[in-house]
Amino acid sequence: MLPSFHYYQPESLAEALNLLADLPGPKKVLAGGTDVIPALSRGELAVEHLVSLKKLDELREIRRVGANLHVGALVTFRELVSSPLVAGFCRLLGEAAAAVGGPQVRNQGTVGGNVVNASPAGDLLPPLFALGAQVKLCRRGGERVLPLAEFLLGMGKTMLMPEEILTEVIFPALPGGAASSFVKLGRRNSLAISRISMAVIIFRNRQGRIEEARLALGAVAPRPVRAERAEALLKGRCPGPALLEEAVAAIAETVAAILGRRASAPYKRVAVKGVARQALLRAVPEFGKP
């Protein structure tokens, strides 16, 4: 049995924002529910008012606007997996969505929920970090757009105010030549929470030289972390097995420094090398070719 609360199904975003602005006491927005409902039933979340986004179809769209992709907060993991826009302009986000939970959770869970929940193991967060995503937060009478890196404050903590709704995630579409990948290590293939994950985006010039590498690691810190040393050392060089091992070593060093003496550190220090190798190879197969 869930604790009791008042429940609302606003018909429009404006109505939802009015409710959030006017309702007193603890309130929460409900999207897919895959995190909120179990938190309620475990008694970890106390709310007086639950505002459902169910009827806000305007938040279910994936749109291309100029150079950017706009992903509505209510887009489900399944929709990311099957979207041609995602496949064409941010393949790694589709790969990450496919790695979430099982089919049931992918049918229900949403992009907005994954971001707002701010779990260190949230699978969409490393790819969105690598993509340089921003989030749009609406409230009655105003809105603001924040870089994801500023929005996420730590485990379960974000800049979201109680009267705000995260309506969409915005990021530059990747150009056709960009390589990308997402790799997740869980305790098993399905229904597993990430132990380590990594998102890779690599831009190369016509000669195959790496112009820019963006490497974002998940589940090693309260928020995704960019492997900046490895990014710097890849820049200007051509992929191959020797460079791959250099990059993997640099990523492992970055991770070891972050993990410190956490109980999972000895495992993750070693395991991250396999994740990094696999992610780089999947994005750019030339890393495996001498």
Binding site for another protein (CB under 8 A): 1-7, 9, 30, 32-34, 37-38, 40-41, 50, 52, 54, 78, 101-105, 107-108, 189-191
Which residue number, 102 or 177, has a Cβ lying nearer to another protein? 102
Q: What span, in angstroms and rounded, lies between the C-alpha atoms of 290 and 167?
A: 46
Which residue number, 76 or 167, has a Cβ lying nearer to another protein? 76
Which residue number, 33 or 88, has a Cβ lying nearer to another protein? 33
Maximum Cα–Cα distance across the chain: 64
For the bound state, the minimum distance from the C-beta of residue 113 to another protein, rounded and expressed in Å, comes to 11
Helices and strands, number each (H, E), in the chain: 12, 14
For the bound state, the minimum distance from the C-beta of residue 34 to another protein, rounded and expressed in Å, comes to 5
For the bound state, the minimum distance from the C-beta of residue 261 to another protein, rounded and expressed in Å, comes to 30
For the bound state, the minimum distance from the C-beta of residue 122 to another protein, rounded and expressed in Å, comes to 15
Label residue 53 exposed, middle or buried (CB < 10 Å: 0-12, 13-18, 19+).
Answer: buried
Q: What span, in angstroms and rounded, lies between the C-alpha atoms of 91 and 198?
A: 14
Which residue number, 54 or 63, has a Cβ lying nearer to another protein? 54
Tokens of 130: 């690598």
Which residue number, 2 or 232, has a Cβ lying nearer to another protein? 2
For the bound state, the minimum distance from the C-beta of residue 209 to another protein, rounded and expressed in Å, comes to 37
How is 146-208 classified by DSSP, letter by letter?
EEHHHHEEETTEES--TT-EEEEEEEEPPPTT-EEEEEEE-SSSSS---SEEEEEEEEE-TTS
